[in-house]
Amino acid sequence: MKRTRLLFLAWAIVLGLSACGKAPAGTTAASEPASTEAPAPAAKHLRMPDGECQTFNPYLANTQDEMMNDFAQARLYRRFAKEDRKTLYMRPELAAEEPKQMDAEGKVWQIRIRPGLFFTDSQGNLTDKPINASVFEHSFKMALDPVLKQRAGDNMSIYITIVNAKEYFQQTPEAPVKWEDVGIRALDELTLELTLATPSTQMNVMQQFTGYGTVPTDPDLFTSLMANGATAYGTDHTKTLYCGAFYVTDWVKSSAITLKKNPNYVFADEIKITDATLYYVENYQTQLEMYLKGDLDSTALDAEIAPRYAEREDYLSYPARYLMQIEINRGNTKKPILDNMNFKNALWYAVDRIAMAKLEAATPANYIIPDTSLADSATGLLFRDTDIAKSYREDMTASYDPAKAKAYFDKAMEEEKISGKLTLELIISPATPEQSLCAQFLQQHLAEIFGEDRFELVIRENQDRANLMKTWRDDPNAYELCLSNWSRAVTDDSPFNVFDKYSEVYDLKVNAPYGNAFINETIFLQTTDPRVKTDQAYNAELAGRMEKEALENRLVIPMFERSFQYLVSPKLILPLEVPQPSMGFTLRPWLADLLP
């Protein structure tokens, strides 16, 4: 990811509340005399750094865009901080109450929508566009649209399995699926009914509808902006409607986004920030200088800058859920050594994870399931602390063994009959400090271990690195090695879901030809075995089996787990004293307060 994406990834997690509007009453009381009106509250203007937002479409949004959907759009359910600023609770947002189970098995659920909800426009006016059950049905249909093929479609079955939802999204002309056969239906104006393929719990249903792909959109506006298999919805701040804590009044692309508090939001009385400006600041150093001058209320720090400020009182760090790893294109026909087990073992033992983590201000990682993943959300038991994780995870110091790495490398070279120098290309995203530092370290370190006369790592920047990795099906020689560090936020309550992206069922295409039959078969259980979603202990057990399989077969070479580092002004009172990414809740400054 490029520098702007990394910055935006940080604030995509930092800036995350949604919202909505209430219908005006049929009549209004006469205005009070001016002399008796309460004085207007003092303005509290939040000033944050920003990445380069590309779209306000909640179904197309990727990690650098979804912050705006969190910021200005509501969902059915949402986690909020308790008054003690230490713990969280799940709360209906656009929903009027918790989901109701309608059958004995837990396959049919009804969600009641709050009555009298309407969208807000970019001038802050309450429109005549309602938010009701039929709007949600249409919104989910658009999220799953098989022609638009938007990112949200693959996230609609993370915690629950809606009948025919994935089949509708993945349908082909040879195997069509009708929307009428999908288990999403508006029964009346305020009642949305879900029919599931496997039993679920109430919490599973609520978790599913906290996701960014479950934001409501106005059917008339969304449909009017569709053409030729694409949509212009959200390409401008006037080409969307808002139901969140804020609405966007201006969007100067590659410059700034201006927002105001939405008085029509259902919890507007709890929002203390009155307006905000999100500045697009590409350079971390420039962003830091703005913060130190008092022009920003917070600033993200990259791996190069963070160590210099770690002792400051306004320094804040927490896990980012991003594991930096080496992706191996084992299907490359020009470099068959990439599928040689001895070579993959050589890479595994040649990586000095502790040294790299120190360089990157991160946590060394010889695992795939991130440290934020919970095996038991009720007790807070992290997956890393379970017996199954401890049974196979290697000690960090044992995962670095230069002598063993060299022996594996020599054996692989002999098996592949390579007598000269092996040159491999490592693709990284441009202008990305984390990937650049990592690549340079690997370039020098691997040559030292394997021998400069026997091995060379060439670094190549590619603007479209992420999409390039997915082309291996059509072009098996598209790449050799890549750095990858995707987000794993959806795994907070389900370590099992980490391995969606390593399986053939992942619709957005996996990054490499992993080809692991055990993982493919196990991942499929989420559609056939209800315990995967209803029994966290079982979920963690299966996740452990898959991680063990992935590590033993070196499907990827994990190196370190990134952390987010910030400087946060003492004036910015965050909703949680300590961010809890393991529960999908981080800084959320629009739920915060600003001191004078």
CB 251 within 8 A of CB 567: no
Q: How far is CA 409 from CA 163, 334, 368, 414, in A?
A: 49, 18, 23, 9
Q: How much is the pLDDT for 36? A: 53
Same domain, 291 and 334: no
Q: Is 236 helix (H, G, I), strand (E, B) or coil?
A: coil
In a domain, 310, yes or no: no
- pLDDT tens-place string over residues 298-330: 998 887 788 889 899 999 988 777 899 999 999
In a domain, 32, yes or no: no
Alpha-carbon distance of 306 to 23, in angstroms, equals 46
Same domain, 211 and 238: yes
Q: How much is the pLDDT for 82? A: 87
379: Cβ–Cβ under 8 A, 6 or more apart, which residues? none
Q: How much is the pLDDT for 1? A: 35
Same domain, 491 and 531: yes
Q: How much is the pLDDT for 310? A: 87
Same domain, 245 and 330: no
Alpha-carbon distance of 386 to 389, in angstroms, equals 5
In a domain, 448, yes or no: yes
Same domain, 559 and 588: no
- In this structure, what DSSP letter does residue 321 have? E
In a domain, 414, yes or no: yes
Main-chain phi, psi angles of 402, to 5 degrees: -55, -40
Same domain, 203 and 94: yes
The CB-side HSE value for 588 (13 A sphere, CA atoms) comes to: 27
Sign of CA dihedral 10, 481, 325, 536: positive
Helix residue ranges, H only, 16-82: 66-72
Same domain, 117 and 251: yes
Alpha-carbon distance of 74 to 22, in angstroms, equals 12
Sign of CA dihedral 568, 574, 579, 584: negative
Same domain, 377 and 424: yes
pTM: 0.74
In a domain, 29, yes or no: no
Q: How much is the pLDDT for 404? A: 98
In a domain, 70, yes or no: yes
Alpha-carbon distance of 16 to 65, in angstroms, equals 11
The domain tally of the chain equals: 2
Same domain, 285 and 382: no
CB 44 within 8 A of CB 272: yes
The CATH number assigned to the domain holding 582 equals: 3.40.190.10
| List of the chain residues with pLDDT < 50 | 1-20, 22-35
In a domain, 589, yes or no: yes
The CATH number assigned to the domain holding 449 equals: 3.10.105.10
Same domain, 544 and 577: no
Q: Is 3 helix (H, G, I), strand (E, B) or coil?
A: helix
Q: Is 217 helix (H, G, I), strand (E, B) or coil?
A: coil
CB 56 within 8 A of CB 248: yes
Same domain, 261 and 348: no
Alpha-carbon distance of 265 to 242, in angstroms, equals 9
Q: Is 313 helix (H, G, I), strand (E, B) or coil?
A: coil
Same domain, 574 and 556: no
Q: How far apart are the first and last CA of the chain?
A: 37
Helix axes 341-350, 402-415, angle to 10 degrees: 160
On average, the pLDDT of the chain sits at 88
In a domain, 271, yes or no: yes
Range of the domain at 172: 3-19+41-297+569-594
Q: How much is the pLDDT for 456? A: 98
